[in-house]
Amino acid sequence: MKKMILLGMVVMISLATMGQFSKASLQASGLTCSMCSKAVKVALEKVSYVQEVKVNIKHQEYAIVFKEGSDIEFDDLKKAAEDAGFSVASLKVTGNFNDIKIEKDMHIQVGGQSFHFMNGNNQSLNGEQTLTIVDKNFVSAKEFKKHSAASKMECVQTGKAAVCCAKDGISNDARVYHVTI
């Protein structure tokens, strides 16, 4: 009986942290013309899990729709923009959440990714929510400095799980994305 209760709890916890990311908004920097915008668009469209990319040239933004059920690696989007010759000024990712409890400086796995919430005060994520990735090379150096000062955890500087993440169940050396709500 105890095994059944334990198994039930494990299943409930894993279901609670499930989330599926459906879209993103990437703002590129360094664009000077429509050809630059097209180069980034083409590079993003080559990422295997990207279904569609729409460009807002005025704001240098790319609305990205992900293929349903795909494993998403946000670093691939950054790499695509960089390979096109530009950098990422911001990346916001949107997903559907089912009662995921978060707190500031908490690590959690969602949709196959590990996240460190830089803000949050005993909140629950429900329904469609947008997270802003505030890692190095996803925001300006000034903004990264501001966000990284909010936590003393080692993973903020490295982007990799460390001893600080183990208490939240993140395996050592896993990629950790630092986010704000």
Residue with tokens 């240098």: 60
Residue 14 pLDDT > 70: no
Residue 85 pLDDT > 50: yes
Phi and psi dihedrals of 150, rounded to 5?
-80, -5
Tokens of 98: 């089912």
Q: Which of 10, 17, 42 is nearest to 111 (CA)?
A: 17
Residue 61 pLDDT > 50: yes
Average pLDDT of the chain to the nearest whole number: 85
More confident residue, 11 or 50: 50
Q: How many CB atoms lie within 10 A of CB 150?
A: 15
Average pLDDT over residues 80-90: 95
pLDDT at 39: 94
Q: Is residue 159 helix, strand or coil? A: coil
- Non-local (6+) Cβ contacts of 81 within 8 A are 26, 28, 40, 43, 44, 87, 88
Residue 151 pLDDT > 80: yes
Question: CA-CA distance, 120 to 150, in Å (whole number)?
Answer: 12
Whether this model's pTM surpasses 0.75: yes
**Contact indicator for 153, 161 with CB cutoff of 8 Å:** no
Share of the chain above pLDDT 90, in %: 54
Q: Which of 139, 74, 92, 101 is nearest to 13 (CA)?
A: 101
Average pLDDT over residues 155-176: 81
Average pLDDT over residues 81-107: 93
Q: How many CB atoms lie within 10 A of CB 54?
A: 10
Least-confidence region, from 93-97, 109-113, 141-145: 109-113
User: Can you name the residues that pair with 97 across neighbouring β-strands?
Assistant: 19, 127
Residue 10 pLDDT > 60: no
Give the domains, in start order, of the chain with CATH numbers: 19-180 (3.30.70.100)
Say how many residues make up the chain: 181
Note the pLDDT tens digit of each residue in 20-46. 899 999 999 988 888 888 999 999 999
Q: Which of 123, 126, 119 is nearest to 99 (CA)?
A: 126
